[in-house]
Amino acid sequence: MIKLENAHIEEFRGIRKLDVDFHRNTFVVSGPNGSGKSGVIDAIEFGLTGQIGRLSGQGTKGLSISEHGPHVDKIKSPDAAFVRLKVFIPEINKSATITRKVSSPRKPKIVPGDDDVKLALAEVAEHPEITLSRREILRFILTEPTKRSEEIQTILRLDEIGEVRSALYSAQNKLQLAHGAANAQVLSGRNTLLSHLQISSLNAADLLKVVNQRRMTLGLAELTEVNSDTQLDSGLSLADKADEFNKRSALRDLTALSEAAKTFADLAKAEAAAMIVDIEKLEFDPALLMALQRRSLIEQGLELTDGPECPLCDKSWDDEEQLRNHLKGKLAKSDEAGKIEKTLLKNGLVLSAASIRIAGLLSPVQKLSASQGDLTFAALLSNWIADFETLKSKLGKVDEIIGLKHRLESGWVQLPAEFSEKLTALTAKVEGKPDQSATVDAQTFLTTAQIRFGDYQATVRKSTAAGIALKRAKVSYEAYCSVLENELNTLYDAVQKDFSGFYREINDDESQFTAKFTPSEGTLDFDVSFYEKGLFPPSAYHSEGHQDSMGVCLYLALMKRLFGSRFTIALLDDVVMSVDSGHRYEFCKLLKSKFPNTQFLITTHDRLWAEQLKSAGLVTSKNSLEFHGWTIETGPLVESNQGIWEEIAAELRKDRVARAASALRRHLEYVSWLLADQLGAMPQFRADGNYELGDLLSSVLTRVKELYGKAATAAQSWGKTNERDAATKKKEILSRAAQTSNVERWAINRAVHYNAWANFAKSDFEPVVSAFKNLLACFRCESCGSWVYVTPRINAESLRCACDEINLNLKPKPK
């Protein structure tokens, strides 16, 4: 797997342009709701996998990367929307850059294009589960057992295992059908042979008795045994073998067919009637029929799926897995249709076996009619046999069965016109032939016996082979299921152990916490203990916050099992929003102690949580980013304190005053918002929290002047004249800077708005930039670069910076 070094995001989702340096470390992006944090997660997920989780799955119908990936102003030019990530691949000790455009999400540009780099990044692309949002947590914890089983199986890639099992099961079913058909052929072949031999059961003694009688007539040596190499007509000359016509046998074949034909109308009558009922159900319920037809189509589609292009409609999906899940979802919706499909096929199988039996009776008569020169009847029988072959193949496919309704209603075995007459005529013709001499009878008996014995042996071999294949399929399926069950049990044991351990680390008040997964046919029950009072579903007694921490713990346990030591990156999108601050601190410790080699990219709307991540040592100021708002024109409003003046200067060098003005505005908005908060400034209260820049900056100026005044007064009271003078000097510098920037007048007069700056000439705007640069410098430490703040926030006692280079006492000496 990989670690992130940096990201460049452009015109993607809610982001216009953003650069983030991750330094391969855990990183936090904080900001209020709607400030664009999740856009960063979306961008990284897209860069790595070509997917955006938020645009797929339940409730996202109609959303797509191509249409909703670009910034809303760039919908018509998706080429402008792209993400470029620099990643480090520990396993090969290489860094690489992957650039992915919304216009071609499946074709990232990877530099260097080394095979090992491409392979590593291709593997990452196969794992969208590196992203966890609260939506996924709910999928694990609060879902029903069948859905949870699916979700967890998906995250652990068990769906692929399920697909192998399903294929093995299908193979077993197909071979079962083939074996059934082969057995029916054996039965048919045996009946034909027995009919000719005139014995009731096929055993060696009876067979040898009737065969040896004829052989003795012909003076041939007796056969003493029967095996697969036995030639019943051995010793006959080729000329003698040429005549297959045996009058008595022929008459028996004709009689057998004639008698059987009387019962054809009743063959598999109940099954045919049941099929008609099922077909009518489909006819009366078009939705059911459509579900069934789609089912068949979707099954074919699943079979043919080999990539992200749908084989049914050519629609391009983000990836093959998404397409497969879509098709599987459709299949699941047609369960009732599935039941009808099953009974139709089951009854069809009975008709199919009957067809084989009829064809077995027709076949010797067809040969007889041909040998006797009745070519018309021979052709009629050939066509009828072919008709049963066609019927047999149709009975194996549901959509074809539906088309057989009329045939089933009118009697699925219809005697062809003139069949009875021609059969009678052929019988009369055979009967009219002179009786064969004992010699000819014996010769033709043996010749026909050998042909039918050979045919029977062939069907037996085919049936044996089909049986062996079926046995292999069964052994294979059972072996797979057995291994799968053992591995899943081991897996769930490991996951529940890790999960419980992680959860206990976060929730030390539940030191006896345990969990239990209970997998059974397609479901996964999940129960957790509640203060040693027993096992209950997670949502039974635990609070929302506890459920959230369960979700994250389960995710971490699953990732540990899935990747082991290769779990190097996870994107956690606002996942502990309901967890209280005490437990979040423990969560930080868990991440730090149990996953020291994993880079977490965490987003949160909670500033306190962002601060906790820092104080717990999970991230540093360098590895954090704060958004303080978002606009459709600018995207997330980010503090870019390090490079803002260089950025503005660069824009001005290119005479792009409007861009420079926009950057200055964004920066001032951020700093004003931050300082108003850190210094306890008091702008006029607004219930919607939508403060204007003028309101904030003006109140910050007032507040800082007040604080410097307080510092000077306090220093004076303690007799610290140097500190008093320093505070007074700072206040004077601030007043001058404020005057130069004219911020107060600007703040009062709303007409002087930043938009006006956009129309300034470069030479007019440069002094504005310089004035604000000097003004903002008054609020930050020259040594550490941090913005000043008061502590404590209520009844402030000192004004400080992060390194304490600025540390002004505000509390005067008690009188």
How far is it, in rounded angstroms, from Cα 430 to Cα 725? 136
> Which of 309/374 has CB closer to other proteins?
309
465 in contact with other proteins (CB under 8 A): yes
Helix (H/G/I), strand (E/B), else coil: 640 = coil
Q: How far is the CB of 158 from other proteins (least distance, A)?
A: 7
Facing residues of 597 across strands?
none
> Which of 17/471 has CB closer to other proteins?
471
Selected binder of other proteins within 96, 98, 132, 175 (CB under 8 A): 175
Q: How far is the CB of 152 from other proteins (least distance, A)?
A: 12
597 in contact with other proteins (CB under 8 A): no
Q: Which of 223, 662, 634, 285 is nearest to 449 (CA)?
A: 223
Selected binder of other proteins within 245, 480, 530, 754 (CB under 8 A): 480
Q: How far is the CB of 473 from other proteins (least distance, A)?
A: 5
- List, as one string, the DSSP characters of 296-325: HHHHHHHHH--SSB-TTT-PBPS-HHHHHH
Selected binder of other proteins within 75, 297, 484, 771 (CB under 8 A): 484
How far is it, in rounded angstroms, from Cα 116 to Cα 122? 10
Selected binder of other proteins within 270, 475, 756, 777 (CB under 8 A): 475
748 in contact with other proteins (CB under 8 A): no
Cα distances (Å, whole numbers) of residue 496 to 131, 248, 526, 528, 533: 21, 77, 9, 10, 19
Considering only the stretches 86-94, 333-341, 463-471, 786-794, report the one whose residues sit in contact with other proteins under the rule CB under 8 A: 463-471
> Which of 171/650 has CB closer to other proteins?
171
> Which of 488/616 has CB closer to other proteins?
488
Selected binder of other proteins within 282, 291, 469, 711 (CB under 8 A): 469
Q: How far is the CB of 157 from other proteins (least distance, A)?
A: 5
Considering only the stretches 140-148, 472-480, 634-642, 717-725, report the one whose residues sit in contact with other proteins under the rule CB under 8 A: 472-480
487 in contact with other proteins (CB under 8 A): yes
Task: Tell the burial category of 742 from Cβ atoms under 10 Å away from its Cβ (0-12, 13-18, 19+).
Answer: middle
Quick one: which H or E segment has residue 221?
Answer: none
Considering only the stretches 237-245, 386-394, 478-486, 713-721, report the one whose residues sit in contact with other proteins under the rule CB under 8 A: 478-486
Helix residue ranges per DSSP H, 617-761? 644-653, 657-679, 693-718, 721-741, 743-748, 754-758
Q: How far is the CB of 468 from other proteins (least distance, A)?
A: 7
Half-sphere exposure of residue 565: CA atoms within 13 angstroms, side-chain side: 2
> Which of 250/302 has CB closer to other proteins?
302
> Which of 122/756 has CB closer to other proteins?
122
Selected binder of other proteins within 19, 73, 144, 163 (CB under 8 A): 163
Q: How far is the CB of 14 from other proteins (least distance, A)?
A: 33
Helix axes 335-371, 419-432, angle to 10 degrees: 30
> Which of 483/803 has CB closer to other proteins?
483
Selected binder of other proteins within 482, 518, 597, 615 (CB under 8 A): 482
Q: Which of 314, 297, 426 is nearest to 370 (CA)?
A: 426
Q: How far is the CB of 307 from other proteins (least distance, A)?
A: 10
Selected binder of other proteins within 111, 483, 540, 756 (CB under 8 A): 483
- Would strands 82-89 and 131-133 be described as parallel, antiparallel, or unpaired? unpaired
> Which of 60/490 has CB closer to other proteins?
490
Helix (H/G/I), strand (E/B), else coil: 798 = strand
Question: Do residues 628 and 639 touch, judged by C-beta distance below 8 A?
Answer: yes
Q: How far is the CB of 480 from other proteins (least distance, A)?
A: 5
Tell me the per-residue interface mask from 664 to 683 with other proteins, x by CB under 8 A, - otherwise. Answer: --------------------
Selected binder of other proteins within 291, 353, 354, 491 (CB under 8 A): 491
> Which of 229/521 has CB closer to other proteins?
229
Considering only the stretches 12-20, 168-176, 634-642, 649-657, report the one whose residues sit in contact with other proteins under the rule CB under 8 A: 168-176
Helix (H/G/I), strand (E/B), else coil: 226 = coil
Helix residue ranges per DSSP H, 372-506? 375-394, 398-402, 405-409, 419-432, 438-506
Considering only the stretches 67-75, 85-93, 154-162, 546-554, report the one whose residues sit in contact with other proteins under the rule CB under 8 A: 154-162
> Which of 178/276 has CB closer to other proteins?
178
Quick one: which H or E segment has residue 49?
Answer: helix 37-49
Query: What tokens were used for 380?
Result: 């009629």
Q: Phi/psi of residue 780, each to 5°? A: -135, 160
Q: How far is the CB of 89 from other proteins (least distance, A)?
A: 17
How far is it, in rounded angstroms, from Cα 358 to Cα 187? 11
Selected binder of other proteins within 265, 379, 468, 608 (CB under 8 A): 468
Selected binder of other proteins within 142, 161, 415, 733 (CB under 8 A): 161
Considering only the stretches 67-75, 155-163, 272-280, 419-427, report the one whose residues sit in contact with other proteins under the rule CB under 8 A: 155-163
Facing residues of 316 across strands?
309
Considering only the stretches 44-52, 111-119, 435-443, 473-481, report the one whose residues sit in contact with other proteins under the rule CB under 8 A: 473-481
Widest distance between CA atoms in the chain: 148
Q: How far is the CB of 1 from other proteins (least distance, A)?
A: 11
> Which of 157/656 has CB closer to other proteins?
157
476 in contact with other proteins (CB under 8 A): yes
How many residues of this chain bind other proteins (CB under 8 A)? 39
How far is it, in rounded angstroms, from Cα 467 to Cα 178? 9
Considering only the stretches 166-174, 676-684, 714-722, 733-741, report the one whose residues sit in contact with other proteins under the rule CB under 8 A: 166-174
3-state secondary structure 486-544: HHHHHHHHHHHHHHHHHHHHHCCCCCCCCEEEEEECCEEEEEEECCCCCEECHHHHCCH
> Which of 92/483 has CB closer to other proteins?
483
Tokens 């107060």 belong to 744
Q: Where are the extended beta strands (E) located within 41-103?
A: 82-89, 94-101
Query: What tokens were used for 187?
Result: 């039965």
Q: How far is the CB of 562 from other proteins (least distance, A)?
A: 7
> Which of 469/806 has CB closer to other proteins?
469
Selected binder of other proteins within 262, 471, 729, 793 (CB under 8 A): 471
Question: Do residues 15 and 40 touch, judged by C-beta distance below 8 A?
Answer: yes
Contacts of 713 (CB under 8 A, 6+ apart): 812
91 in contact with other proteins (CB under 8 A): no
Q: Which of 175, 181, 182, 201 is nearest to 190 (CA)?
A: 201
174 in contact with other proteins (CB under 8 A): yes
Q: How far is the CB of 431 from other proteins (least distance, A)?
A: 39
Q: Which of residues 295-334 bind other proteins (CB under 8 A)?
A: 302-303, 306
Q: How many CB atoms lie under 10 A from the CB of residue 304? A: 10
Q: Which of residues 538-577 bind other proteins (CB under 8 A)?
A: 561-562, 564
How far is it, in rounded angstroms, from Cα 552 to Cα 588? 12
Q: How far is the CB of 624 from other proteins (least distance, A)?
A: 33
Q: How far is the CB of 306 from other proteins (least distance, A)?
A: 8
Query: What tokens were used for 108?
Result: 């990232």
Q: Phi/psi of residue 574, each to 5°? A: 50, 50
Helix (H/G/I), strand (E/B), else coil: 133 = strand
Helix (H/G/I), strand (E/B), else coil: 30 = strand
Residues near other proteins (CB under 8 A) are: 156-158, 160-161, 163-164, 166-168, 170-171, 174-175, 302-303, 306, 461, 465-466, 468-473, 475-476, 479-480, 482-484, 486-487, 491, 561-562, 564
